[in-house]
A and B are shown apart, each in its own frame.
Chain A
């Protein structure tokens, strides 16, 4: 499959998950905090994609998902976008560094860094460092959702035929 249709498809799937995951209640009372299951498409694309295309995927997912969910250009939109960009950079570095490890490591690293960046930006928005007290709870949930993403993306990578990826 060509690159444009493949990543267009992934952006569409990611945006759909992004909208639907807001129906799942998130137990921590921080504005803009969410499970992050839509990052499944990024974990799926990670092993066979170059860094510029990964960043394009993140940007497209943030813009389309933000437009659909009505968060476009709001404060939580900026938090989410910067969080995803940093998580993609770290996931890509981790993929190139830890060659023996599986997808779970990369995915969890991405989820953890996403939350750290979001909380740091959130602290800037409300101009106080008090929010950091929520960070350990968020990171526990990020570890869970990151592992779930990695397992689903890994199974998809095995099942989907090679022709759909190259």
Chain B
């Protein structure tokens, strides 16, 4: 067969790996210098369920069609999923998030929580359901 002694590593690979690592590291650095967020948006099934201010310390439940999905806690400008009914608990293990643009995702319950907006909004709290 053709090309039996396939090379593993060459000069091309070295430059390719260097460029990939440089791009990825700078992407991570840029995404981490965001300021602290003031609000968190909670999406359930792709729709906005609630927008919470992170300045207040609170503990509340998220329900969908009267089924309890998870308990969310806000404290000292951060937000976390305290407890969830999903199987693998990935959302709980994500822990606290506080910076602008971070997120907690729970695919089994189809819940997304993301932080938003370093700047002050004219309203304090907004609820939809």
How many B residues touch the partner, as a band? 35 or more
The one of A30, A101, A139 in contact with B12, judged by C-beta atoms closer than 8 angstroms, is A101
A-B contact pairs, 6 of them (CB 8 A): A102-B8, A105-B16, A125-B107, A133-B31, A140-B25, A155-B8
Counting CB contacts under 8 A, is A52 at the interface? no
Q: Which of B63-109 contact A (CB under 8 A)?
A: 88, 90-91, 93-94, 101-103, 105, 107-108
Q: Whole-angstrom distance from the CB of B127 to the nearest CB of chain A?
A: 19
Counting CB contacts under 8 A, is B120 at the interface? no
- Enumerate chain A residues within 8 angstroms of B17, measured Cβ to Cβ: 104, 108, 143, 147
Q: Known: A133-B102, A150-B8. Contact between A166 and B1, CB under 8 A?
A: yes
Q: Whole-angstrom distance from the CB of A26 to the nearest CB of chain B?
A: 10
Most buried by A among B1, B25, B88, B93: B1
Counting CB contacts under 8 A, is A112 at the interface? yes
> In whole angstroms, what is the CA distance A143 to B23 when docked?
12
Counting CB contacts under 8 A, is A2 at the interface? no
Q: Beta-carbon contacts of A149-161 to B below 8 Å, as 1s and 0s?
A: 0110011011000
A interface vs B, CB < 8 Å?
A: 29-32, 47-48, 75, 98, 100-105, 108, 112, 122, 125-128, 130-131, 133, 136-137, 139-140, 143, 147, 150-151, 154-155, 157-158, 162, 165-166
> In whole angstroms, what is the CA distance A114 to B64 when docked?
33
- Enumerate chain B residues within 8 angstroms of A136, measured Cβ to Cβ: 24, 27-28, 31
Q: Which of B1-45 contact A (CB under 8 A)?
A: 1-13, 16-17, 20-21, 24-25, 27-28, 31, 43, 45
